[in-house]
Amino acid sequence: MENTVFDRRETTDKQIGSQLYNLIIGLTLLWGFAINYVMVQTIDPESILSLHPLVFFGGYFVCCFLGIAMFSKSDNPVISFIGYNLVVIPFGLVINVVVSGYDPMLVVEAMRITTLVTLGMMILGTLFPAFFAGIGRALFIALLVVIVVELVELFIFKVHHSIIDWAVAVIFCGYIGYDWGRANMIPKTVDNAIDSAAALYMDIINLFLRILRILGSRR
């Protein structure tokens, strides 16, 4: 998904050092993951599944798009953080329902793999920023194609091939390196750190869900 956050090249806001900038990104990500963890531990997935699909998916998309609009367009860290949470909460509901169908040890394994892959892609994004900057359009097109193929397979042919999960996982690996590289090319402000974390959060959660599905299919 294209994000105007990474188009920023100038700012009148106070800029901060690289270490503090990256720390804020990390802490913002951890906040989102902590909220998701609490949601999984405290919300009964059956209560989510009991909602009418139109209510659930309508609320999900409205909340996500509103949150994305808030952190993408605002240069106020508080507004951006609120927008970030509006994305974290609906994602947390989906995570809650998905992980409830898997063995807890498998979930932990998926979390570990996702963490290691994320750190690896961030390192690669730092070492080879030009490469990742050049694959953004290819990633976007590839993701659209895979989504269309997956929807056709599910709703027309009523099947799901594991290769699609692998393809999506690889694409979001690329997106993590891509967005991390772009995060370090824009002015280092508190607001940009939060906005960058929001984009990375969505990459990482999508990667986690696909890794979990891949591991589950192998068991």
Q: Tell me, yes or no, whether 4 lies in a domain.
A: no
Q: How far apart are CA 181 and CA 123, in angstroms?
A: 9
Q: Tell me, yes or no, whether 6 lies in a domain.
A: no
Q: Tell me, yes or no, whether 127 lies in a domain.
A: yes
Q: How far apart are CA 143 and CA 137, in angstroms?
A: 10
Q: Tell me, yes or no, whether 91 lies in a domain.
A: yes
Q: What residues make up the domain containing 170?
A: 13-218
Which stretches of the chain drop beneath a pLDDT of 50? 1-3
Can you give the pLDDT at residue 119?
96
Q: Please state the domain count of the chain.
A: 1
* pLDDT tens string 54-107: 999 999 999 999 999 999 998 899 999 999 999 999 999 999 999 999 999 999
Q: How far apart are CA 37 and CA 23, in angstroms?
A: 21
Q: Tell me, yes or no, whether 81 lies in a domain.
A: yes
Decide: 18 and 188 in contact? Cβ < 8 Å: yes
Can you give the pLDDT at residue 218?
72
Q: Tell me, yes or no, whether 182 lies in a domain.
A: yes
Can you give the pLDDT at residue 2?
44
Q: Tell me, yes or no, whether 2 lies in a domain.
A: no
Q: Tell me, yes or no, whether 199 lies in a domain.
A: yes
Using H for helix, E for strand and C for coil, what is the string for 124-171?
Answer: HHHHCHHHHHCCHHHHHHHHHHHHHHHHHHHHCCCCCCHHHHHHHHHH
